[in-house]
Amino acid sequence: MGSVYAPVRVSDQSFAFRSVRDEAEIAFEALRTILPPKKFFYPAKETILECDGDEVKEHIEVVEPFAVFGVHPCDLAGLNALDKIFLSTPQDSHYQRRRRAAFIIGLSCLPDKHCFCKAMKADAPGKGYDLFLTDLEDKYFVQVNNQEAFEFILSCKEFMHLASDQDNQGYKKFWNDRDSMFEHNFDSAQLPNLMDLGWDHPLWQELGERCLSCGNCTPVCPTCYCFDMTDVAMFNSEKVEAERQRVWDSCQFSGFAAVAGGENFRPGPVDRLKFWYRHKLHGFEDPIEIPSCVGCGRCTVSCPSGIDDLPGVIRILAGRPQLNLEGEIA
C-alpha cells in the first residue's frame, strides 16, 4: 500500500497528519489536525510546468500508492467538495493522480465546542472513503465502500468477523449518542439567505477592524483552494531552465485582489473577510451548489483575533440571542 499517514501528536494541543510505521505513533484521540487531509491531494506548493530550453511540458509527478488513516466525517466532506472542484471538466490531472493513488480510512470522532459539522450536514460518512471505522470501545465497526476496500478486508479477515445484531445496535447507539453532543444547531439551508440579508450588517465592520489579514483561516480550511502561479527560473551558461509552480494563496491577503493599474477590488480587511464568510456560508453556487464550510472548527481554533466564530456570526445574522465572540451571552 506504500506510505501510511495518520494523526500524530506534535504538541500538547496539536496534531498533524504524518507518516507512521507503527500503531503506537497514531494519536487516535486527535479531533482536528492542524491542516486537513487536502494537503495530500492539493499540496501547498507543486510544479505544474517545466521549461527546458525551448521545450515547455507538463510536470507529471510519479505518485506512489498511499493510505491516509483517521479521516473524520467533516474532512471527508471537505475532500468531496474539492473533488467537485478539481475533478469537474476540465479535470485537474495533478489532483486526480493523487486522489486515485490514495486509500482513505475514515474514523469516527466525538465533537467539542468548536464542532458544528452536524449543522452543515457533514457529520456522517457519506462517500469519499474506502473504509470507515466507528469506534465501539473494544472493537471497530467497519464500513466497506468499494471493491478495493473489500479485497483489503479479505486480506486480513483473521482480524474481522461479520457484524452481529449486538454490533449493529452498538453502531446505532454510538451515532445517536454523538448527535446529542453537538452544541450548535442551525438550518444550513437558510445560510445563503442570511448572508444576502446581512450583507450590510454592522457586524462585518466590527470583525474587519479586528482582522489581522494573516490568512490563517484559509490553509486550515478543508475546502479553501485559492492559489497563485509563480515562475522560478534557474540560469546557467547553456540554457534556461524554469518551473511554473502552483502555491496556496489566501483571499485574506491584502494583495490577493490587486490587479493591473494599482487597483484592488477588495482593498480592506472588511471586504476580504465578508467575501470569505460569503464563500464559506453562501457556497459555490455554480460548481457544487452547497456551502463550502464543513463545520470542522479549524478556522475558529486558528484565528488569533477570535473573529472566525462561524456559529456565532450565523446566530447574529439570524437575529437570535447568541453568545458573543468572547463566549458570553450578548
Work out the number of other CB atoms within 10 angstroms of the CB of residue 199.
Answer: 12
Q: Are residues 82 and 126 in the same domain?
A: yes
Q: For every residue of 159-205, which 3-state class applies, written as one string?
A: HCCCCCHHHHHHHHHHHHHHHCCCCCCCCHHHHHHHHHHCCCCCHHH
Q: Are residues 125 and 68 in the same domain?
A: yes
- Half-sphere exposure for 213 (CA within 13 Å, toward CB): 16
Q: Are residues 35 and 68 in the same domain?
A: yes
In a domain, 327, yes or no: no
Work out the number of other CB atoms within 10 angstroms of the CB of residue 265.
Answer: 10
Q: Are residues 130 and 220 in the same domain?
A: no
d(CA 41, CA 100): 10
Give residue 39's Cα distance to chain centre: 9
Q: Which domain holds residue 272?
A: 188-224+251-317
- Could you give phi then psi for residue 271, rounded to 5 degrees? -60, -45
Last residue of a domain, one of 160, 179, 198: 179
Last residue of a domain, one of 123, 153, 179: 179
Question: What stretch of H or E contains 317?
Answer: helix 310-317
Largest Cα–Cα distance in the chain? 73
Q: What's the total number of domains in the chain?
A: 2
In a domain, 246, yes or no: no
C-alpha cell, 166: 449486538
In a domain, 83, yes or no: yes
Q: At what angle do helices 310-317 and 203-210 cross, to 10 degrees?
A: 160
Q: Are residues 220 and 143 in the same domain?
A: no
Pick from 180, 222, 186: nearest CA to 313:
186
Put the strands of the sheet holding 66-71 in their side by side order: 15-19, 3-9, 66-71, 102-107, 131-135, 140-144
Q: Are residues 77 and 195 in the same domain?
A: no
In a domain, 245, yes or no: no
In a domain, 266, yes or no: yes
- Half-sphere exposure for 179 (CA within 13 Å, toward CB): 8
The per-residue pLDDT for 233 is 86
Pick from 40, 37, 17: nearest CA to 27:
17
Positions of the chain with pLDDT lower than 70, given as ranges = 1, 236-240, 284-290, 321-330
Q: Are residues 123 and 192 in the same domain?
A: no
Q: Are residues 33 and 175 in the same domain?
A: yes
CA distance readout (Å), 231 to 49, 238, 250? 9, 19, 18
Last residue of a domain, one of 143, 162, 179: 179
173, 137 Cβ separation under 8 angstroms: no
Q: Are residues 136 and 194 in the same domain?
A: no
Q: Are residues 172 and 133 in the same domain?
A: yes
> Strand pairing of 66-71 and 3-9?
parallel
Structure confidence by residue, pLDDT tens digits, 156-179: 888 899 999 999 999 999 999 999
The per-residue pLDDT for 53 is 75
Put the strands of the sheet holding 45-52 in their side by side order: 55-58, 45-52, 240-248, 227-235
Q: Are residues 170 and 65 in the same domain?
A: yes
Q: Are residues 26 and 149 in the same domain?
A: yes
The per-residue pLDDT for 283 is 74
101, 65 Cβ separation under 8 angstroms: yes
Q: Alpha helices, DSSP H only, in 102-164?
A: 147-155
The per-residue pLDDT for 324 is 47
